[in-house]
């Protein structure tokens, strides 16, 4: 019998169901991949899509208020006086400026352009021949090329040049290459002179305009109407992309502002104004951003978190097990300040951190928990002029912010908001009082060179004093005879203060020797011996009561005397550094 062929599954069975299932799975996978690529892995796109209409609505509401406030400032007598002064200065210079512009635009510039075209054509021919001249090998060839160059320079060309007076008329001039070159360079110098003259004439009006704009910015709280209009235009042309900060020095990348779009906006954005979106609010301390620019410090350097991650909020905040530096909780945001300001006792804009430091010091935590201490500033001292300039700028900014907070408190809707603005005003006024005290009571800062010179002088005097002490200890011991002590005593220099009337002539001190026992010395409290020397003998008859005086049994203790010389020297050096004067020699 013939063998039965095997059944072909393609012919014997229908594959429509497996093919349909596979197709459906493939289609679902494609839809999921597109969704995950466009939306799931890019949640910041949804944040940006919600931010644009909310911020635009805030700006549209702000625009009429700022326009009304700007109008009120412009109608003030001071602004009107500066505006009138500006118009007068512009009218005085407009005629001369218009003449210079007409001469430059209709005379000098067209004439220079026409001369430059002809000059460039001739110069290109000369440059080509000059290259051949430099590469030629025979003298005859060089002479031939040089003659061609001279012929081009002597060639006369016709040029249509505009008149330099600015009338717009032209003239036809026949010139050679040297004449065209001199004309072109002269026109360049003439245009530069006219432009410099125009700047000089416009300088008074520009100064008045700057003073007027500064007055407007100082009196107007917030942005001008034109600035608000610019922000609205930016929102209309907003591009949805990743907002990134890259610090090249430490290779740090932060993309936090891809979602937190309102952090650095010039308009104060609250949670209520942004529809309850906490991610769109402004930074809680704009003054802090002035001294910690995010373009220089980034975001995660202070707040922690994973600045590169943009696929989810959890990963962006670094609150998962594979990231070692999660975002600080809201109540602990100031903990990031401790990373750089660990040696300060008080840090500005960080009240919670300052309170923690006070607790750490006052409760005695440092007794068990070792910490290196606070307020150890660097040795360099900044110039007092820069310090005073910074304080004056802060004083002016605080005064302006105080007036703004007071105005906002007067127009607040409820008492709670008004009290909050009034409290801010009082805090700024208190800060200005402290700044004023610093400006009035502050003195000049010593220059680093003077400080180093003083330190060297102190070290030199202290080494001399220690040398004298060691010399006294080595030369004077209990077995030393009186003659040896007298010889040593003469060898050691004594201060002029030792011969002052404060000490009796019969027992002026010469030196203090720590410890030990010496003949003719008196033991003093603190472990030192006061060595006295007898008064000089006097001849009878010089005065009544002639003869040596007997030294008293007890003598006053010398100032600054301590049992340990090193301790005394260190204490004296610290005291003299605080007092700002070199140490005195204590023999």
CB within 8 A of 517, min separation 6: which ones? 478, 523, 529
The tens digit of pLDDT for each residue in 278-320 reads 999 999 888 899 889 999 999 999 999 999 999 899 999 999 9
pLDDT at 236 exceeding the cut of 90: yes
Distance CA 332, CA 336 (A): 8
What is residue 513's DSSP assignment? E
pLDDT band per the 50, 70, 90 thresholds, residue 465 = low
Q: What's the confidence (pLDDT) of residue 377?
A: 45
CB crowding 73-100: b at 16 or more within 10 Å, else e:
beeeeebeebeebbeebbeebeeebeeb
Distance CA 140, CA 388 (A): 77
CB–CB of 380/448 below 8 Å? yes
Q: How far apart are the first and last CA of the chain?
A: 137
The number of helix segments (H) and strand segments (E) in the chain equals 18, 7
Q: At what angle do helices 43-74 and 177-219 cross, to 10 degrees?
A: 80
Other C-beta atoms within 10 Å of 334: how many?
20
The DSSP result for 527-550, as a single string, is SEEEE--PPPP--TTSSTT-SPPP
CB within 8 A of 261, min separation 6: which ones? 47, 48, 51, 55, 243, 280
pLDDT at 481 exceeding the cut of 70: no
As beta bridge partners, residue 247 has 252
Distance CA 533, CA 124 (A): 103
CB–CB of 147/129 below 8 Å? no
Q: At what angle do helices 448-475 and 482-491 cross, to 10 degrees?
A: 160
The closest of 277, 540, 13, 369 to 269, measured between CA atoms, is: 277
Q: What's the confidence (pLDDT) of residue 490?
A: 47
Distance CA 479, CA 477 (A): 5
What is the length of the chain? 587
The tens digit of pLDDT for each residue in 316-359 reads 999 998 899 999 998 888 999 988 888 788 888 899 999 988 88
What is residue 171's DSSP assignment? E
Q: What's the confidence (pLDDT) of residue 409?
A: 84
φ/ψ bin of 548: left (φ > 0), alpha (ψ from -120 to 50), beta (otherwise): beta
CB–CB of 39/45 below 8 Å? yes
DSSP H or E run through 493: none
Q: At what angle do helices 448-475 and 565-579 cross, to 10 degrees?
A: 160
CB within 8 A of 152, min separation 6: which ones? 122, 125, 126, 129, 177
Our CA angle for 374, 376, 380, nearest 5°, is 160
The tens digit of pLDDT for each residue in 552-578 reads 444 444 444 444 444 455 555 555 555
Distance CA 137, CA 435 (A): 80
The closest of 426, 438, 367, 418 to 401, measured between CA atoms, is: 426
Distance CA 337, CA 353 (A): 8
Q: Is 522 helix (H, G, I), strand (E, B) or coil?
A: strand
pTM: 0.53
Longest distance between any two alpha carbons in the chain, whole Å? 172
In this prediction, residues 229-256 reach a mean pLDDT of 92
Q: What's the confidence (pLDDT) of residue 574?
A: 58
Q: What's the confidence (pLDDT) of residue 232?
A: 94
Other C-beta atoms within 10 Å of 113: how many?
13
CB within 8 A of 208, min separation 6: which ones? 82, 85, 86, 89
The closest of 285, 219, 215, 293 to 254, measured between CA atoms, is: 293
Cα atoms found within 13 Å of the Cα of residue 370, Cβ hemisphere only:
0
The closest of 223, 212, 188 to 111, measured between CA atoms, is: 188
pLDDT band per the 50, 70, 90 thresholds, residue 496 = very low
Distance CA 18, CA 24 (A): 10
Q: What is the 3-state secondary structure (H, E, C) of 81-139?
A: HHHHHHHHHHHHHHHHHHHHHHHHHHHHHHHHHHHHHHHHHHHHHHHHHHHHHHHCCCH
Q: Is 254 helix (H, G, I), strand (E, B) or coil?
A: strand
Beta strands 245-247 and 512-514 are unpaired
The tens digit of pLDDT for each residue in 61-113 reads 999 999 999 999 999 999 999 999 999 999 989 989 998 998 888 888 888 88
In 163-280 the beta strands, taken as DSSP E runs, fall at 170-175, 245-247, 252-254
CB–CB of 305/326 below 8 Å? yes
The closest of 475, 559, 567, 488 to 524, measured between CA atoms, is: 559
DSSP H or E run through 350: none
Other C-beta atoms within 10 Å of 294: how many?
18
State the average pLDDT for the chain: 77
Q: What's the confidence (pLDDT) of residue 164?
A: 74
Cα atoms found within 13 Å of the Cα of residue 246, Cβ hemisphere only:
4
Q: Is 285 helix (H, G, I), strand (E, B) or coil?
A: coil
pLDDT at 39 exceeding the cut of 80: no
């Amino acid at each position: 019998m013939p063998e039965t062929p095997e059944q072909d599954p393609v012919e014997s069975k229908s594959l429509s169901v497996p093919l349909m299932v596979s197709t459906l799975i493939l289609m679902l996978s494609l839809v999921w991949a597109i969704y995950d690529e466009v939306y799931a892995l890019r949640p910041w796109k949804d944040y940006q899509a919600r931010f644009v209409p909310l911020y635009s609505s805030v700006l549209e509401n702000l625009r009429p208020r700022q326009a009304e406030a700007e109008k009120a400032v412009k109608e003030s007598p001071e602004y009107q006086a500066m505006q009138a002064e500006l118009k007068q200065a512009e009218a005085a210079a407009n005629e001369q400026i218009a003449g210079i512009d007409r001469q430059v635009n209709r005379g000098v510039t067209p004439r220079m352009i026409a001369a430059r075209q002809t000059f460039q054509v001739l110069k290109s021919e000369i440059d080509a021949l000059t290259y051949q001249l430099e590469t030629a090998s025979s003298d005859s060839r060089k002479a031939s090329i040089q003659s061609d160059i001279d012929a081009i320079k002597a060639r006369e060309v016709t040029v249509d040049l505009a008149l330099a007076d600015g009338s717009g008329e032209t003239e036809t001039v026949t010139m050679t290459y040297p004449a065209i070159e001199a004309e072109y360079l002269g026109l360049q110098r003439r245009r530069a002179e006219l432009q410099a003259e125009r700047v000089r004439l416009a300088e008074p009006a520009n100064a008045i305009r700057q003073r007027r704009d500064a007055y407007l910015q100082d009196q107007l709280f917030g942005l001008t109407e034109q600035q608000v209009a610019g922000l609205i235009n930016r929102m209309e042309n907003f591009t949805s992309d990743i907002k990134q900060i890259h610090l090249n020095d430490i290779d740090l990348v932060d993309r936090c502002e891809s979602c937190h779009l309102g952090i650095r906006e010039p308009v104060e954005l609250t949670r209520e104004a942004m529809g309850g979106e906490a991610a769109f609010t402004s930074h809680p301390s704009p003054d802090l951003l002035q001294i910690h620019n995010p373009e220089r410090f980034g975001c995660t350097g202070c707040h922690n978190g994973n600045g590169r991650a943009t696929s989810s909020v959890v990963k962006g905040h670094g609150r998962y097990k594979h990231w070692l530096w999660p975002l600080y909780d809201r109540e602990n945001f100031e903990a990031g300040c401790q990373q750089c300001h660990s040696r300060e006792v008080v840090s500005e804009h960080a009240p919670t951190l300052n309170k923690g430091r006070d607790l750490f010091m006052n409760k005695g935590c440092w007794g068990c928990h070792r910490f290196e201490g606070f307020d150890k500033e660097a040795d360099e001292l900044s110039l007092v002029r820069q310090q005073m300039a910074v304080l004056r700028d802060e004083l002016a900014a605080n005064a302006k912010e105080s007036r703004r907070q007071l105005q906002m408190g007067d127009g607040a809707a409820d008492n709670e908001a008004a009290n909050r603005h009034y409290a801010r005003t009082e805090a700024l006024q208190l800060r200005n009082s402290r700044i004023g005290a610093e400006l009035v009571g502050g003195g000049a800062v010593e220059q680093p060179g003077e400080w180093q010179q003083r330190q060297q002088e102190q070290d030199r005097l202290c080494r001399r004093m220690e040398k004298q002490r060691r010399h006294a200890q080595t030369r004077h011991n209990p077995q030393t005879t009186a003659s040896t002590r007298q010889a040593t005593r003469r060898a050691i220099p004594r201060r002029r203060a030792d011969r002052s009337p404060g000490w009796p002539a019969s027992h002026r001190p010469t030196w203090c020797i720590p410890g030990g026992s010496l003949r003719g010395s008196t033991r003093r409290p603190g472990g030192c011996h006061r060595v006295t020397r007898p008064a000089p003998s006097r001849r009878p008859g010089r005065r009544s009561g002639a003869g040596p005086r007997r030294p008293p049994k007890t003598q006053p203790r010398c100032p600054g005397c301590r049992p340990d010389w090193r301790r005394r020297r260190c204490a004296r050096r610290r005291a003299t550094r605080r007092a700002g004067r070199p140490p005195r020699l204590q023999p």
